[in-house]
Structure 1
């Protein structure tokens, strides 16, 4: 067996299931699940219909590179969304469709890491656990870059030691952040681009929450956008990961893409031809329909805004709570140990949230997820309102 398997941590939801085991919550209160970032809004009908119309594609072996029409739709969307000139992203060399960002984030690391030279993969802390698992299984050492209230929940690149930068082969950034919803600026992207050029590492930007933002006039900055506007029009050392799961409420479609540096993606494409991960043709056709429409995304954003407003209005007098600029998470500080908070909240109110320490590791003397819980406002607004009322009751005891 791969010896690196023993280094993998239990997944956060395995730990959560253990935390709740044996507890009988109040029978008169229906369970409200706010722990998993799984969108519950309806997948738009036109996406479902496109999928059904093209089920004849099941008779075909799909190609790893995907349909030219899909790659073109992705390239066009990327240029329009991130304010780059039409044609700035080459659909032939700078775009690859993937079966959701989780699959791509993991496999990308396996393709780009050279394990012979004590490699380091830098990642935000807290983080999406795929970053860590992918790094460990590729034979790399994770370096956890704490994001705390003191640094506005953003990575502080100046705090990374020189020795770590010299060994770094890949850095993960996540903006808007999971679990905090914070957004990196163009200046921060440009600083990281300069470091990547100096030390020779690749930037993997997880951007699956970019389309869920609070201010309609101020969408989150993307890495390719920052690179292009700062003169790096070839997106050297940059790769972004995008998904339809959150944007279009289609997590079961398993559809996303990677885009960026043509040289890096050329090698990653070679890896993927062996990995066995082409997207079914019917899924590709549904994805084309999704990337070509923005109205359903605007409607989706408004649903989340309404839930944030209602949820925060109820809780703002009972605890310290703030509205994130993006994502669908509330990163709530707890008045006690986060695991104990989540356990007691479930036991007394039948509401499930995720302990923040399950999303982070001890680093430089702290666990930045400690004394926080992640609350995913994915349930219908009525359930979110009910959950807020129960949490308020729990907090005021």
Structure 2
């Protein structure tokens, strides 16, 4: 077996299962989970219809192997969406590729980018982070370096804290904007700083933007390609953005997204994917094409999240350190120091007393010399319907009051 597998950490949800092992939740309350970021709004009917129609089509069904690069029409849909959403022009054939969800692409891109012959290779990850970044780096033979988020700057990554020798060894840098779990959006000045570092040291930037269409305040979040274009980097050198339909269109089970950016990197990535065997099924391509071409369902989906955050956040702000995020569907909440307990203990108490599941923030981050930036915080995914999220908020508030009264 590949010895690098031994370096992988348990996934946060396995750690959560172990944390709750042997605990008995309040049997008088129905379970509510805010622990997993899985969209639970209804899939648009027209997307399902496009999938069904293609499945039963003689030309789009399952009777032939699909091309790894997808159909020209699908790649044109990607390019049209990028133009509509970000005002940028890309070459659909050379600068876009379909992927089976951003998670698969994040992992695969890392394997394609990192040089296996360089034992000093570093992959920079935001901290807290999506654990695929770390696992992909480790299995590629690189060393992850964790760049802590700064609560004083709305959880923006502190790029200035990364030592020069790390930048010199970096081959890939992950950006997640809007962030998981913090919801922070990276502004143009931060992108400019990162591009300058990439030019100096030659690393590739992977911009994970799967939460870009869920926002509630002001303008839509700035994207990586958009930032590059505004700064005159229209070739998108050393930059690949990754996005997905899972959150935007409520189709997590379809596993559909795309990557776009530097044509030189995507040419090599396509070669890798040809061997990787990850072509998108024709019915999924047809449904994806339909989804990328419609914005009405995206606006309706965004409104549902806006309503939830508008009603839930004030309730939780009474008892936790929490505020409306820039974007995304998570609340990143701090536990009151007066309770005298860490995030794992609070998660246990909440589960037992109120039958509500949340994810301890420390499970989403790694310890660094400056500490674990997720310690003392909770990630709550507001993916259920409004009433269920409201009930969960009231139960969390009750739990905090119970613990204060002890």
TM-score, structure 2 length as denominator? 0.96
Aligned to 1:60: 64
Equivalent residue, structure 2, for 1:238: 239
Instruction: Name the residue aligned to 1:203.
Output: 205
Residue number among 366, 370, 373 corresponding to 2:371 in the alignment: 366
Is 1:80 aligned to residue 80 of structure 2? no
The match for 2:396 is 391
Instruction: List aligned pairs for 1:226-305, cutoff 5 A.
Output: 226-305=227-306
Aligned length: 393
CA displacement at 1:315 relative to structure 2? 2.2
Q: Distance in 2 between matches of 1:33 and 1:129?
A: 20
Is 1:354 the counterpart of 2:356 in the alignment? no
- Which residue is equivalent to 1:178? 180
Q: Please list every run of 5 or more consecutive structure 2 residues that lacks an aligned counterpart in the other structure.
A: none
1:40 aligns with 2:40: yes
For residue 193 of structure 1, what is the aligned residue in structure 2? Answer: 195
Query: 150-159 or 119-128, which moves further after superposition?
Result: 150-159
Equivalent position of 1:109 in the other structure: 110
Q: Secondary structure of 1:145's partner? A: strand
- The DSSP-based 3-state class of the residue aligned with 1:144 is strand
CA distance, structure 1, for counterparts of residue 103 and residue 65 of structure 2: 22
Partner deviation per Cα, 1:240-264 (whole Å, 9 max, x = no partner) = 0000000001100100001000000
Residue by residue over 1:287-332, the C-alpha shift from the partner in whole angstroms, topping out at 9 and shown as x without a partner, is: 0000000010001111001101111122222232200010000001
| Partner deviation per Cα, 1:115-151 (whole Å, 9 max, x = no partner) | 2221000010000000000000000000000003133
- Post-superposition, which runs of at least 4 consecutive aligned residues in structure 1 deviate over 6 A? none
Q: In structure 2, what is the Cα distance between the partners aligned to 1:157 and 1:359?
A: 19
Match of 1:30 in 2: 30
1:334-383: CA deviation from partner (whole Å, max 9, x where unpaired):
13200111111001100000000101101123000000010000011110
Stretch of structure 1 that moved more, 200-209 or 17-26: 17-26
Distance 2:153 2:296 in 1: 35
Alignment of 1:377-388 (within 5 A): 377-388=382-393
Gaps of 5+ in 1: none
Q: Distance in 2 between matches of 1:315 and 1:166?
A: 43
Residue in structure 2 matching 1:168, options 170, 178, 185: 170
CA RMSD of aligned residues (A): 0.9
**Is the Cα–Cα contact under 8 Å of residues 184 and 325 in structure 2 kept in the other structure?**
yes
Equivalent of 2:157 in 152, 155, 158: 155
